[in-house]
Structure 1
């Protein structure tokens, strides 16, 4: 009986370490998914702001600056903002692509892309 109790020593500590590692991974995965959603939302906000400015007569060259100003600074550095023609000749379309930051190297969500079309002023 005494020998058996001695062999089980430390088993709970090993199990605890395994559970903590699993919980930490699940928590980081949840934070990563939230980061993906936030990045997509920021790309949408930037595309709407940039399209609003690009649709104005005097805003043709300032759309990119406006789009970056509408985003969080740490995501604006990762963004590319492009302007193109809309579906017709009296529309403008702005597309914003933002690289999604990764917390863990196993996650790679690529880029969040959002486009907005506005009528020309």
Structure 2
């Protein structure tokens, strides 16, 4: 080492480069700082965090759409079950078929799903049930103005 604060390890290989001191050697602080800065510019630390931050809205939107599709599918299942229960109640009802139909349709429906239109017309010996259930928006209890309808039919068992 020399008195000028240079180190042979940081010298310019071609001999007398710019930024050097005596004999083409670079100062330890200047050469090391420049090398660290250049390495820092080529470094990819934090790149995953930046990419994740950029993709987060896409990931969240996909999760929300998949959840909404799940709620719609479950509403189809609930509507089919409600129509089956309603037509069964209407087929065995002795009195008002429409009241029995509407009550049975709402009985087996979870509280967060709201029952829409219910009709149970009788056509000869056949009883039909048409049920509409509102689709919740992201969380049960917040409905969108879309109804899932289901239809079921059964033979009258009483007059």
Same fold by TM-score greater than 0.5: yes
What is the alpha-carbon distance in structure 1 between the residues aligned to residue 128 and residue 88 of structure 2?
A: 10
Is it true that 1:70 corresponds to 2:108 in the alignment? Answer: yes
> Which of 63, 87, 90 is the equivalent residue of 1:51?
87
Give the Å deviation of 1:14.
Answer: 3.4
| CA RMSD, Structure 1 to Structure 2 (Å) | 2.7
Distance 1:90 1:15 in 2: 65
- The answer to whether the aligner puts 1:95 opposite 2:130 as a matched pair is yes
- TM-score under structure 2 normalisation? 0.61
1:118–1:12 CA distance, 2 compared to 1 (3 A): same
Structure 2 residues without counterparts, runs of 5 or longer: 1-34
The one of 8, 11, 27 equivalent to 2:63 is 27
Aligned length: 115
- Structure number with higher relative contact order (C-alpha < 8 Å, ≥ 6 residues apart): 1
Deviation for aligned residue 1:20: 2.0
Note the C-alpha offset of 1:78: 3.9
1:21 offset after TM fit, Å?
A: 1.9
Match of 1:80 in 2: 117
Q: Does 1:117 align with 2:153?
A: yes
TM-score by length of 1: 0.78
Alignment map for 1:4-23 (pairs within 5 Å): 5=40, 12-23=48-59
Note the C-alpha offset of 1:10.
6.6
Query: Which of structures 1 and 2 has the bigger CA Rg?
Result: 2
